Homo-oligomer: A and B are copies of this chain.
C-alpha cells in the first residue's frame, strides 16, 4: 500500500476523499548495529538499503553483503555482512545534513572522494535535444504515486530513450539511493555502469544529488526542477551536464554544454492579439 485515502474538504466546502502517500520508518541495522532510520514510501526497501549503504560508502562492495532482510512489522532492515562490517563506526563518525529531500545525510569522507570520480569524455557520452524531449515525455507518462497522491519525488535511469528503472519515494534521496541499489544488483552487466546512462529526477539538483549521480558514474542529469549553486559548482568541476526545468519541449541546460547536441526549436511565432 503506497498510498491511503483520507477525507478532505476543499474551498467549495465539499468533503471528498483523496490519496496521500504512505511514509513509514525503516531502521537499518548492519550486523546488529543501528545505523539510521529512513522515512520511506517503501516501494523497494531492499534496493533502498543497498543503495544507502553504497552511497554512504558504509559497505565497500556488494560482495561484502550476505543478506538484507526487511521486516515491516517492526520497521527494520537487517543487513548481514561477510566479515562483520569493518570500520562501520569510523565511517559514520561525521555527518553532513544536506539540502535534499529525504535522506539528506552524507558522511564526512564523501565530499573528499568526489575528486576521484572520472566520467566518460564528452565525445562519447552525449545527449541530443530530441532524446531529452522523449525522456520528458516518458517521465510524464509513467504511472506514478505522484499522479495519484502527490508529495513524492520520482527518479529514473535511462539508456538512450529506454527507461531502465523508475522509483518514487517521499524523499528524492531515497529514490536515487534505490536506483544506486538497482545498479549495484546489476553490476555484473552493462546495466550497472553509469557512463552511458542519463539520470532523471523530479527533484532539485542540490550538491548531494549531483554527488550521488557522479558516484554512480552518470555524466548527464536532468531535473524537472532547478539547481543550486553547489550542485552547479560540483557538476562543472566534474564535467557533468545538468538540465533543469525539463518539461515537454522545454529545458534549461545549466552546464556541460559540450555533451549536448542542440537541435533548437524554431523561435516562437509572434503573438498577434486581435481585439474587438
Contact = CB atoms under 8 A, between A and B. Distances in A.
Interface of A: 4, 6, 8-13, 18, 20-25, 34, 36-40, 94-105, 129, 149-151, 169-171, 174, 204-208, 225-232, 245, 249-255, 257, 260, 262, 264-265, 267-268
Contacts of A232: 6, 20
15 contacts: A6-B254, A9-B252, A10-B250, A10-B253, A11-B129, A11-B249, A11-B250, A25-B96, A37-B96, A38-B97, A97-B103, A98-B171, A100-B101, A103-B104, A150-B225
B105 A105 contact: yes
Contacts of A206: 23, 39, 151, 170
Given A98-B102, A100-B104, A105-B105, 9 more contacts: A9-B257, A10-B250, A10-B253, A12-B264, A13-B264, A37-B95, A95-B95, A99-B101, A151-B225
Given A18-B252, A97-B36, A207-B39, A150 B226 contact: yes
B99 A171 contact: yes
